[in-house]
Homo-oligomer: A and B are copies of this chain.
Amino acid sequence: MDDLTKLLAIEEIKQVKARYFRTMDTKDWDGYAEVFAPDAVMDMRSEGSRDGVARDEMVTTGNRAIAEFVKAAIDTVTTVHHGHMPEVTFTSDMTADVIWAMEDKLRWPEGSPISTLHGYGHYHETYRLVDGAWKIQTLRLTRLRIDAV
């Protein structure tokens, strides 16, 4: 990749991740599915288990399945997810490793077993050029800190 192609790819990757956050927080699940490659893998084992979902099952494959998985977790939850300070490293003309700092703040409806969660960590991602557009290929979350009430 020449320098200009690289800069364009970095900016496109940033905007893909911006759509990831905005579609998640505004509950636009079709738009959310679009930011992932068709065979994307999301690894959320850092989040532990969930009602009826064991820790080992917190890995989801396929962009539609990922959107369903996340929708089932937070469609009724007021969420704010912010990403910061991407570190982009190209591993080929069509693939990149990216690390993002992140913060999330969730508030469940009244009467839920959990009330609020406020967390911080890093996304460790790979991106791939799919039919001319950069998409998230894999996503794994690590945590610096979680405060739950």
The docked-state distance in angstroms from the alpha carbon of A79 to that of B85 is 16
The docked-state distance in angstroms from the alpha carbon of A8 to that of B6 is 9
The residue of chain B having its C-beta at the shortest distance from the C-beta of A14 within the complex is: B85
- A101 neighbours in B (Cβ, 8 Å): 18, 21-22, 25, 82
- Interface majority SS (helix, strand, loop, mixed), chain A: strand
Tell me the residues in window 1-33 of chain A with beta carbons closer than 8 Å to chain B beta carbons: 3-4, 7-8, 10-11, 14-15, 17-19, 21-22, 25-26
- A145 neighbours in B (Cβ, 8 Å): 78, 80, 105, 107
**Shortest 10 CB-CB contacts between residues of A and residues of B:** A18-B85, A80-B120, A18-B87, A82-B84, A15-B87, A78-B145, A80-B144, A7-B7, A25-B144, A21-B85
